[in-house]
Amino acid sequence: MLDGRRSARLLAAALLVLGLGSGMLAQTGGNKAVGADDPEFARLVKEWTTRPEFSSPLVDHLPKVAGLPSPKDVLGHHIGEPKKLTYYADILKYYRALAAASPRVKIVTIGRSNEGRELVVVFVGSDESIRNLEQYRTYLGQLADPRSITPQQAAEIIAKAKPLYHLSGGLHSGEVGPSEMLMELAYRLVAEDSPLIRQIRDQVIVSITPVADPDGRDRNVDWYYKYGINETEGRPAGAGVPYWGKYVFHDDNRDINYSQVEMRSLLDWYFQYHPPIMHDLHQAQTLMYTFSGQAPQNPNLDPILYGELPMMANFEMAQMAKYGMPGVWTHGFVDMWSPGYLAFMSSNHNGMIRMYEIQGFSGANTQKVRLGDPNGSGANGVTGAAATGSGRGSAPDAAAQAAGRPSTGSGQGGNQAVREWYRPWPATGEFDWSLRNNTNYGQTGVLTALQYTSQFPKVILENFYVKSRNSTETGRREAVAGYIIPSGQRDMTRVERLVNLLRMQGIEIGRATSEVTLQEGRFPAGSFVVKRDQPYSRLAKTLLERQVYPDPNLRTYDDAAWTMGLMSHTEVKEILDKKILDLQVDKVSEKEIHLAGKATGAGAVFAVAHFGSTNMITLRYRLKDAKVQATEKEFSEGGITFPAGSFLVHGDASKVRPAVEALGLTAVALAGAPQVAAHDLDLPRLAIYSLWSGQATQDVGWVRYALDRFEVPYDLIYKERVRKGDLKSAYDVIVLPNQGGGSGKRVVFDIEGRGQPIEYKKSDAFKNLGVYGESDDITGGMGLGGVAEFEKFVQAGGVLVTLGQASYFPAEFGLAPKVDAARTSPQFYSPGAIVDADILAPEHPIFYGYDRKTIPVRYANGPLLTVQTGASPFEPPPPGPPPTPAGVLMRYPGGDDHVLSGLMRGANEIRNRPAIIDQPSGKGRVILFAGNPCYRWQNFGEFNLLFNTILNFNDIKPEPARPAPTGAR
Ligand SMILES: [Zn+2]
């Protein structure tokens, strides 16, 4: 069998040597850099490759070219050497050395990371391609907007243009291999003169993001040298590094609104270069999975794309099988539903998203892979140490897998040792896996993808053009002709944000020059109009429509819903009336609009209306030295009705007025305070509590990100601070963001102890560690002693706020003695559906600014909360439907009728379950959220539930019991 494979590899090598097409030999390019292969490279790579079949004739050699620095010349070692990982600065140093030596490489800076590292894109191509990069960039820009050219011109441009193929490594910085591999790839593309490489170099321009999350890269490399390098089988080094990027781990691949600066920088770059293909290189599957866009698929995308995706994946699978490489498969892992993956920026703009998941570890040690019994039913058939991407403890794509593991073969992966139609040659048995194996697979795959692209460059470009053209025609061809975001909404700051998020993604928006009448209704002048006769009309629909999940039997890899209007509580009207396409509009040309607020009147007290803007909390903090009160009832002044929760600001008008206007708020200056009950908005001493596990720091990170964006100061605290005790002397409010993985015990005990401390501290050797907090030992959690400190905090008057899965903690450890937290059944499945929630206590400060009794909220997998009623569990309940117990502020009506967008299987399980509970305890209180009101940078409409809690922390009054809900049970 093996001999057969070997001969297949020899045949493949021979084919490559002979040239893949007679025309190719003629295309030699202008570079004279031809050299003999480096014998040392061949010898070492063979040594580091754990089995012959884990390599290919494309990567088992490397030319040496005088004057051209190879990775070894700069880094001191060849790529894939065991126990060697490269820091980001050295990666940049390598690319810069290569660019300095070769006219085939060009580097552009696209921004700075959260921690200040330079973000770059590296271009590699023929001398001619790089010399004329500007011209090629222009061609792609023209194809991206077919309205600017005739079909005849398009054909002429396609004849001259070249596809830009973008590759990205290190998006998940625990997945360390591809960022190493890409350096060798760049060198090979410059240095090698084989027919295949010449063909790629001449026909395709390759662009590279060396490391998409460089901050996380350096932290991971530090962690590897501190702990991972000593890891051997039977001697685990311990937990994963607590932080990757400043705020998030793997959610940088789910940052649908491009909040993180690294993702935003790449998006901005995208609009300059329009790569028709963007390809993210991950590490999580055995031995290599290549994305084919399986179901559930978003039907808004062009059918051409759904043909292209499996075509390329199958080409790779076939070629790699030809080279004798087992374990390459497609289909059956990531689906094509959520548009939030980073490389989706290409598909969202009529290009093509691609992804690999390559077998690898979080470090550079060679480790065992044990594939389970092909006949077994193991989840993925992989057992043993660190069989997937980032090793134990850290949580890359495995986290999403855990959240959405399939029960049938239609989901993620199945048993990877089993042959399937989409995995014709699985890897089996037990073997060592090295960093070089990872390099070999990744580079062979990428070279094969580039081979395909270089073989069919005109098809790729034509498809890009036709997909763009089709998209501009959807407004007339399809039912939905556009969207209107009406002007005159109560809170225009959310309109501003929504418009800016759409503009950021290149969606064209106009403002109606006069009142608009369509069959859907009348909309005031100034309303924002999104017409579906533009290149990104498909994306506009994807983002703005309600997600109708195509098959409730299918699971999805990430969220099932993201409808922007529902998420942000902004009115967005879907328009079928084709007249929208001919409306007179002023084009919004700014990348970011600003809708200024309004502060009228003259007087000593500013009444600032709380219309639900998330900027209210920013205003409070910008005016932190002023006396600010919140009104407890509605009142009218100056022709404006101020809802309960509106601010009364007693301050210097020269400071208040510009602050109100800058934040888009509405205020009237009054001669004196109005006759309405009000309480002081004292600023709480706020702490955000975080576990040390990476999965926790990420969800905590999203809350930190929101607080930072809205300028709310806080302390980030860990078990170390809690154990010190006396929390009440330091804090008024402690928020536990969503964490703990659905278990109060995990909140208390966090990372399992390893028998030896695992510290996360900055040192001279490891200066990227100990950032955002330090610990002598990240394992063990706060323990029961920590629980007692939280109990003392609440008893002494503190406000403890728990979000989502963190709400198991107060329920299970008695901090909210009357609250129980149960779990949904195994059949329940809700990958982030948007559902209705009924507000039961509209006068509670937590609902300041909310003007509707029923609001859309995101629901995933929070606890099913109940509040015990009756004095004793032995008393029989009173007859009739039970009343809503005291303290239930918001409730899910539940049932399929109340699912607004996306998928919730088993929606009856949340029927009448509390969504928010306010439980007084001692002098303080615990406020439990079943859902997560601060989910990624996404459900803005819910953010104020948290912000109001923070601002009104010491002005909350106990809530009475309420009558039974109609139709309950
Ligand atoms: Zn990944």
Q: What is the band of 406 on the pLDDT scale with cuts at 50, 70, 90?
A: very low
Query: What pLDDT is stored for residue 481 in this prediction?
Result: 98
pLDDT (0 to 100) of residue 885: 84
- 536 CA to middle of ligand 1, Å? 27
CB atoms within 10 A of CB 59: 25
Model pLDDT for residues 879-930, shown as the tens digit of each residue: 666 677 889 999 999 999 999 999 999 999 999 999 999 999 999 999 999 9
Note the pLDDT tens digit of each residue in 523-576.
Answer: 999 999 999 999 999 999 999 999 999 999 999 999 999 999 999 999 999 999
CA distance 78 to 184: 8
pLDDT bracket for residue 695 (50, 70, 90) = confident
**Ligand 1 centroid distance, CA of 785 (Å):** 37
Quick one: pLDDT at residue 586? Answer: 98
Residues 6+ apart with CB under 8 A from 437: 49, 50, 54, 55, 287, 359
CA of 264 to the centre of ligand 1 (A): 18
The pLDDT-based confidence of 954 (bands split at 50, 70, 90) is very high
| Residue 945: pLDDT over 60 | yes
Residue 965 has pLDDT above 80, yes or no: no
Does 8 score more than 60 pLDDT? Answer: no
Dihedral angle over CA of 173, 176, 182, 187, nearest 10: 130
- pLDDT classification of 964: cutoffs 50, 70, 90: low
Please choose, from the candidates 849, 865, 878, 894, the residue with its C-alpha nearest in 3D space to the C-alpha of residue 964.
878
Distance 172 CA to ligand 1 centre (A): 5
Pick from 396-410, 734-748, 830-844: least confident:
396-410
User: What's the 170 CA to ligand 1 centre distance in angstroms?
Assistant: 8
Strands, E, within 718-818: which ranges? 733-736, 799-802
Taking CA atoms, 725 is separated from 787, 788, 810, 817, in Å, by: 10, 9, 18, 21
Ligand 1 centroid from CA 173, angstroms: 8
Give the Å distance between the CA of 169 and the centre of ligand 1: 9
- Tell me how far the alpha carbon of residue 41 lies from the centroid of ligand 1, in angstroms: 29
Helix (H/G/I), strand (E/B), else coil: 943: helix
Per the model's pLDDT, the better-predicted residue between 871 and 151 turns out to be 151
Distance 740 CA to ligand 1 centre (A): 22
What spacing in Å lies between the alpha carbon of 390 and ligand 1's midpoint?
9
- Residue 402 pLDDT > 60, yes or no? no
User: How many degrees, rounded to 5, is the angle at CA 249 between CA 784 and CA 380?
Assistant: 90
Determine the average pLDDT of the residues in 464-483.
96
Q: What Cα–Cα distance (Å) separates residue 475 from each residue in 144, 519, 525, 536, 563?
A: 17, 16, 22, 11, 19
The two tokens of residue 801 are: 């706020």
Residue 470: is its pLDDT beyond 60?
A: yes
Report the pLDDT averaged over residues 172-179: 96
Those residues whose C-beta lies under 8 Å from the C-beta of residue 129, and which sit 6 or more positions away, are 104, 136, 162, 201, 202, 205
Residue 516 in this model has a pLDDT that exceeds 60? yes
CA of 252 from ligand 1 middle (Å) equals 10
Tell me the CA–centroid distance for residue 394 and ligand 1, in Å. 12
223 vs 382, residue with greater confidence = 223
Which segments of 44-142 are extended strands (E)? Answer: 105-112, 118-124
Confidence grade of residue 389 (pLDDT, cut at 50, 70, 90): very low
CA 289 to centroid of ligand 1, rounded, Å? 12
**Residue that is written with structure tokens 């293909």 in the block:** 277
- Rounded mean pLDDT of 672-694? 96
Kindly give the distance from the C-alpha atom of residue 599 to the centroid of ligand 1, in angstroms, as a whole number: 48
Rounded to a whole number of angstroms, the distance between the first and last alpha carbons of the chain is 64
pLDDT at 227 over 60: yes
Query: What is the whole-number distance in angstroms between the Cα of residue 288 and the centre of ligand 1?
Result: 13
CB 717 within 8 A of CB 688: yes
Residue 808 in tokens: 């198991």
pLDDT for position 372: 73
**Res 338: pLDDT:** 97
Distance 748 CA to ligand 1 centre (A): 28
Nearest to 895 by CA among 842, 840, 836, 953: 836
Rounded-to-integer distance, Cα 210 and Cα 182, Å? 7
Rounded average pLDDT over 262-266: 98
How far is Cα 384 from Cα 376, in angstroms, rounded to an integer? 15
For ligand 1, the distance from its centroid to the CA atom of residue 374, given in whole angstroms, is 25
Q: How far is the CA of 560 from the centre of ligand 1 (A)?
A: 19
Residue pLDDT, tens place only, 72-117: 999 999 999 999 999 999 999 999 999 999 999 999 999 999 999 9
3-state SS of 449-487 is HHHHHHHCHHHHHHHHHHHHHHHHHHHHHCCCCEEEECC
**What is the Å distance from ligand 1's center to 509 Cα?**
34
Give the pLDDT of residue 235.
58
Q: Which of 589-598, 612-621, 959-968 bottoms out in mean pLDDT, i.e. has the lowest?
A: 959-968
Report, as an integer, the average pLDDT of 15-32: 40
* Amino acid 638: pLDDT: 86
Centre of ligand 1 to C-alpha 220, Å, is 14
User: How many Å apart are CA 619 and CA 599, to the nearest integer?
Assistant: 13
Q: Decide if 296 contacts 336 (C-beta within 8 A).
A: yes
Q: Residue 391 above 80 pLDDT?
A: no
Mean pLDDT taken over the chain: 91
Q: What percent of the chain has pLDDT over 90?
A: 85
Say how many Å lie between the CA of residue 154 and the centre of ligand 1.
36
- The rounded Å distance from CA 285 to ligand 1 centre is 10
Q: Taking the alpha carbons of 124, 439, 225, 173 in that order, is the dihedral positive or negative? A: positive
State in Å: Cα 395 to ligand 1 middle.
9
The average pLDDT across 592-600 equals 95
- Using the mean position of ligand 1's atoms as its centre, give its distance from the Cα of residue 396 in Å: 6
**Residues β-bridged to residue 867:** 819
Category of 794 on φ-ψ map: left (φ > 0), alpha (ψ -120 to 50) or beta: alpha
Contacting residues for 589 by C-beta, under 8 A, at least 6 apart: none
- Is pLDDT at 667 greater than 70 in this prediction? yes
**For residue 7, is pLDDT > 80?**
no
- Whole-number Å distance, alpha carbon 284 to ligand 1 midpoint, is 7
The Å distance, Cα 253 to ligand 1 centre, comes to: 8
CA gap 915, 931 in Å, rounded:
7
| pLDDT > 90? residue 377 | no
Q: Give residue 249 CA to ligand 1 midpoint distance, Å.
A: 10
Going from the Cα of 282 to the center of ligand 1, the distance in angstroms, rounded, reads: 4
Spacing, Cα 744 to ligand 1 middle (Å):
28
Q: What is d(CA 802, CA 739) in angstroms, rounded to the nearest whole number? A: 9
